[in-house]
Structure 1
């Protein structure tokens, strides 16, 4: 199983004061036990670093960035064109550009699901850990 890990899930895993911390740890254990391949995009790496640093944890953000060993798929020019198309088509949604590139990347690599707490993935119609029976 190939899983795209979103910044919201990473923040929940790292930050003990995140309301979903315990749930995220449980989900990570489940995915690991099932042999899931956990993958990030380079845009998600940037977003995660900024998210954690903005929550007043710059040292924690730096530590995560320097020690992360999950594979990173690079967002391609094609993914960016597809992201623009997605944002145009779904103008009624407030998807971020990183969200839209994640949707495009998931389609290109046929990811099985996203590990995320961002409602936008569900709005777009992608499976998330909420579809799992944990």
Structure 2
């Protein structure tokens, strides 16, 4: 059982876009997380990316619906929206310099990793391999094939 998870931009997009290759797998996992009362985290930077992609990839109605539903979820106790404040933001350049050999890691993902470390979150709903490659004991869900 997963006690807490951070959902990355990929996870939110895949959950809300039936055309995504792993949509069904992510939707099934998400329903399980909700049923198990798993604490679901995301950051303001992740939501920024997510809402932008909703309106680029989905039709306007779907994008609006997905954005409003996701926004409303964070008013419940099961969902935690973490603000990337000055302190959390300042941790990302340190991680960037630590992982110079991994230039594909986005600044947003570095801030997510800082939040995961701060809150002791080990699971991340993403397809991004660099969450594993950094050696911080993060585990990607759903399992990669």
Following superposition, the deviation at residue 52 of structure 1 comes to 2.2
Which residue matches 1:50? 52
Which residue matches 2:90? 81
Which residue matches 2:141? 129
- 1:36-92, Cα deviation, whole Å (9 max, x unpaired): 111211011001011222225344333322222133111121211111111111112
Give the superposed CA RMSD: 1.7
Q: Name the TM-score, length of structure 1 as normaliser.
A: 0.87
Judging changes above 3 Å, is the alpha-carbon distance between structure 1 residues 31 and 109 closer, same or farther for their aligned structure 2 residues?
A: same
Q: Name the TM-score, length of structure 2 as normaliser.
A: 0.81
Consecutive unaligned residues of structure 2, counting only runs of 5 or more, are: 75-79
Consecutive unaligned residues of structure 1, counting only runs of 5 or more, are: none
Judging changes above 3 Å, is the alpha-carbon distance between structure 1 residues 82 and 20 closer, same or farther for their aligned structure 2 residues?
A: same
